[in-house]
Amino acid sequence: MLNFRANFKTMFTILHDFTSCYIQSFITEMVQCVHTLQAISPPFPMNEETEYSHLLSLREQINYHNYRYNVLDDPIISDYEYDRLLAELRTLEAAHPAWITPDSPSQRVGGTPVEKFEKVRHPAPILSLGNAFSFDDLRAWVERIARVDERVLTTTFTVEPKLDGLSVVLHYQNGLFVQGATRGDGEIGEDITTNLRTIKALPLKIPVPSSSPSPAGGENAPSLVIRGEALFFLKDFEALNQRLAEAGEKTYQNPRNTAAGTLRQLDPALTASRPLTLLIYQIVSGEGDLPKTQLDTLATLRTLGFPTPPVYHCQTVDEIFPILEAWALKRETLDYEIDGMVIKINDHALFRDLGFVGKDPRGAIAYKFPAQEVTTTLHDIGVNVGRTGVLTPFAILDPVEIGGVIVKQATLHNFDYIAEKDIRIGDRVRLKRAGEVIPYVIGPVLAARSVELPQYVPPTHCPICGQPVENPPGEVAWYCVNAACPEQLVRNVEHFVSRGAMDIVGLGIKIVEQLIAEKLVNDVADLFLLTRDALLGLEGFADKKADNLLASIEASKAQPLGRLINALGIRGVGAVMANDLTRHYPTLDALAATTLEALQTIEGVGPNTALAIVDWFARPRNRELIAKLKAAGVWPVAETRVVGAQPLAGLVFVITGTLPTMSREEASTLIETHGGKVTGSVSKKTNYLLAGENAGSKLTKAQELNVPILDEGQLRDMLQ
Ligand code: IVH
């Protein structure tokens, strides 16, 4: 249990120290933040000392913005600015590998894949919880434990959501995150430190009480072991699935299993590509005096920079019930999955004295919400055609109520899933609905299959246009590859006008279908050729509606290039990547003229996406579409210094010394925006060394390896 090495005399001092040290460190960070935001690209040449303090300040800034984004959910800089800070830190660290420390925010990713996870013994048992399924069960629990200790009759309770993720145990030594483990059997878990480091909500460094000795760490360094739940926010889970679906890969069934699977990946790079988050609710053990109540525990954890779940304080059992009722409804709109609420005795001393029954502490209980799982009959399997032509099967069900909502359809993920689970038309199927996630079929109830049902055979032809479907090698998905498939056109236009894309207000799916059915729209560019007369000829259109629609179509021409690229619906190119592309290509023509190699030098663009982009622009139909958009005046130009194609595509640069007019960071950005790549050390793979004054060992190395050496002027010449 909690390590209550009671030393009441110093308890308040330490808690106070925790708090004030933390606040102080934030004030320092804020000041440094303002200070260094001005100093991102210092106009003066930096010597090692200033470089080092710049590096420290970059780390502070990154940690601070990370905290604002991931813990407070209140960022004050854009993702782009954040990435710039991180890129600058990485460049500095690449130039000075000796300065890299494990708590640097650059070190979240980078662990090498492991063969298996090592075992970790927890410092105290990681307990489970008993369950209650009704208010009566809860009353019975309180009566039961009041018989064990009558202080229960006058004590208070906390109520927190029961987070449906993976329980993790985190170790901090001397303020640094040193180890993280799964719960395992409660005594021994698995060491998943490298994977946990990739979670941005996990602080790699926390304030240490100022009274603590042993700044160098080691055996006597103050330690803190905490516990919480790793999970996906639903929006991130859905975005992950959408990304996978667009790339033709297998999608995941639910956030909980995906969180568990993601943290038990042997390759941390994979974990890093998945946006997991954390909520911390317990101090397992720690040095000195620890908070005496659950409320104080959560407050202290927050003060240390950890994200915590919401908590309520109830004076009596009766005060608990309305909270449970409210959360049973609120659960539907939460951004993470919960499967109940946890009620805890607030007073840690009483909690500890109450002891356990098996692995369940008497002092806490989980109130489980009614299951959101039901069974129903699968009438048929329908197939949707998405905008990229991907075929997605869905279940057509006997309508059934689940969590207060009538469900008639549910996703079946993909054809492999149907085969793996052996789901057959006519089966009784188990259905799950969780939070905002689309209901999905868990699998058939085999015991209820009384007659032999035929296995499901996926379609060989598109259910809409009747053309044969294809399964590209290495992909799970099947595609209708007929570019003229009307369903694809509906989905394409629907995506084109959607909020994250061209945001054409008033153009809902019904109107899109109408426009396509009436042959007024044969591709997205036709939207810009619609006339008032044509619209007035449609059912349901009067003057005002037609004028409003035309006005919002016209207004959409002012959308920035990133939106337009996203709107085109190229496989693998979502809003973020579309924006990234605009930093390298100022117009659609520039993007159309690019090469596979140039695209792959851009951070985040993998070979598949690069291929999808080049392939998209190579198709004559799409070339015509671009020309049509241009002629219609839909031609945003991005603000970028890149003119035309990428003259440095495929070239690797190293920068050294002090350049006459640019900081190294500016030079690096200049090279990258023109398609080149910048690395930290000279090797045979380096194409050019960009050298300024006082160049040191990198210059010697380049001379040894016969790497051509450029000055700033020559670099500029190459960009012409
Ligand atoms: S407290 C003694 N609080 O639920 C402390 N657990 O079914 C015991 N869980 O294994 C745990 N949210 O992984 C606690 N707010 C919360 C929780 C929570 C989720 C998980 C935890 C535990 C499981 C028990």
Do 194 and 325 belong to one domain?
yes
Find how far residue 424's CA is from the centre of its chain. 34
> Is the CB of 160 within 6 Å of ligand 1?
yes
- Position 490 pLDDT exceeds 60: yes
> Is the CB of 256 within 6 Å of ligand 1?
no
Do 564 and 605 belong to one domain?
yes
- Domain extent at residue 173: 130-368
The answer to whether the CB of 342 falls within 8 A of the CB of 162 is yes
Domain-embedded: residue 92: yes
Please give the average per-residue pLDDT across 131-138, as a whole number: 91
Distance of alpha carbon 364 from alpha carbon 145, whole angstroms: 10
Domain-embedded: residue 467: no
Judging by DSSP bridges, how do beta strands 428-432 and 373-385 pair with one another? antiparallel
The answer to whether the CB of 296 falls within 8 A of the CB of 290 is no
**CATH number of 170's domain:** 3.30.470.30
Number of domains observed in the structure of the chain:
4
Pocket test for ligand 1, best of 2, 122, 129 (most atoms within 8 A of CB): 129
Name the domain boundary from 49, 77, 108. Answer: 108
Ramachandran region, residue 644 (left: φ > 0; alpha: ψ -120 to 50; beta: rest): left
Do 228 and 362 belong to one domain?
yes
Using 50, 70 and 90 to split pLDDT, how confident is the model at 231? very high
Higher pLDDT, 337 or 16: 337
Pocket test for ligand 1, best of 167, 337, 359 (most atoms within 8 A of CB): 167
596: which residues sit within 8 A by CB, 6+ positions away?
607, 610, 611, 614
Name the domain boundary from 631, 664, 687. Answer: 631
Domain-embedded: residue 627: yes
Q: What are the start-end ranges of the H helices in 331-485?
A: 348-354, 415-421
Ligand 1: atom nearest CA of 363 is 2
**CATH number of 685's domain:** 3.40.50.10190
Find how far residue 631's CA is from the centre of its chain. 38
**What φ, ψ does residue 330 adopt, rounded to 5°?**
-60, -30
The token duo for 405 is: 């909502």
> Is the CB of 127 within 6 Å of ligand 1?
yes
Residue type, position 403, single letter: G
Task: Give the distance (Å) from ligand 1 centre to CA of residue 439.
Answer: 25
Distance of alpha carbon 58 from alpha carbon 84, whole angstroms: 10
Q: E-assigned strands of 512-555?
A: none
In this prediction, residue 619 carries a pLDDT of 86
The token duo for 478 is: 């099947």
The answer to whether the CB of 183 falls within 8 A of the CB of 126 is yes
Domain-embedded: residue 265: yes
Name the domain boundary from 77, 108, 139. Answer: 108
Do 104 and 205 belong to one domain?
no
Distance of alpha carbon 542 from alpha carbon 563, whole angstroms: 30
In this prediction, residue 626 carries a pLDDT of 94
Distance of alpha carbon 75 from alpha carbon 70, whole angstroms: 8
Task: Give the distance (Å) from ligand 1 centre to CA of residue 320.
Answer: 18
- Position 678 pLDDT exceeds 90: no
- Position 211 pLDDT exceeds 70: no
Please give the average per-residue pLDDT across 79-99, as a whole number: 87
In this prediction, residue 560 carries a pLDDT of 93
Atom 10 of ligand 1: nearest residue by CA position: 128
Do 263 and 154 belong to one domain?
yes
Task: Give the distance (Å) from ligand 1 centre to CA of residue 128.
Answer: 6
The answer to whether the CB of 195 falls within 8 A of the CB of 209 is no
Distance of alpha carbon 286 from alpha carbon 353, whole angstroms: 19
Task: Give the distance (Å) from ligand 1 centre to CA of residue 9.
Answer: 31
Do 623 and 707 belong to one domain?
no
Do 99 and 188 belong to one domain?
no
> Is the CB of 280 within 6 Å of ligand 1?
no
Task: Give the distance (Å) from ligand 1 centre to CA of residue 162.
Answer: 6
Ligand 1: atom nearest CA of 162 is 12
Ligand 1: atom nearest CA of 164 is 19
Do 172 and 321 belong to one domain?
yes
Burial zone of 219 (CB within 10 Å; 0-12 exposed, 13-18 middle, 19+ buried): exposed
Task: Give the distance (Å) from ligand 1 centre to CA of residue 295.
Answer: 15
Ligand 1: atom nearest CA of 351 is 2
Supply the DSSP string of 45-104, one letter for each residue. PP-HHHHHHHHHHHHHHHHHHHHHHHTSS--SS-HHHHHHHHHHHHHHHHH-GGG--TTS
Ligand 1: atom nearest CA of 131 is 7
Distance of alpha carbon 193 from alpha carbon 108, whole angstroms: 10
Domain-embedded: residue 691: yes
Q: Among all residues, which ones are annotated catalytic?
A: 162
**CATH number of 63's domain:** 1.10.287.610
Domain-embedded: residue 68: yes
Atom 22 of ligand 1: nearest residue by CA position: 128
Domain-embedded: residue 701: yes
Do 364 and 512 belong to one domain?
no
Pocket test for ligand 1, best of 160, 164, 229 (most atoms within 8 A of CB): 229
pLDDT tens per residue across span 635-651: 999 875 444 457 888 89
Task: Give the distance (Å) from ligand 1 centre to CA of residue 321.
Answer: 19
> Is the CB of 169 within 6 Å of ligand 1?
no
Do 550 and 688 belong to one domain?
no
- Position 480 pLDDT exceeds 60: yes
> Is the CB of 426 within 6 Å of ligand 1?
no
Do 266 and 295 belong to one domain?
yes
Q: Which of 453, 460, 463 is nearest to 486 (CA)?
A: 463
Task: Give the distance (Å) from ligand 1 centre to CA of residue 18.
Answer: 25
> Is the CB of 131 within 6 Å of ligand 1?
no
pLDDT tens per residue across span 424-438: 999 999 998 765 467
Do 712 and 601 belong to one domain?
no
pTM of the predicted model as reported, rounded to 2 decimal places = 0.58
Domain-embedded: residue 466: no
Pocket test for ligand 1, best of 126, 159, 163 (most atoms within 8 A of CB): 163
> Is the CB of 282 within 6 Å of ligand 1?
yes
In this prediction, residue 146 carries a pLDDT of 96
In this prediction, residue 87 carries a pLDDT of 85
In this prediction, residue 367 carries a pLDDT of 94
Distance of alpha carbon 108 from alpha carbon 160, whole angstroms: 29
**CATH number of 568's domain:** 1.10.150.20
pLDDT tens per residue across span 560-581: 999 999 999 898 888 878 988 9
The answer to whether the CB of 256 falls within 8 A of the CB of 164 is yes
The token duo for 399 is: 């309508």
Using 50, 70 and 90 to split pLDDT, how confident is the model at 246? confident
- Position 347 pLDDT exceeds 80: yes
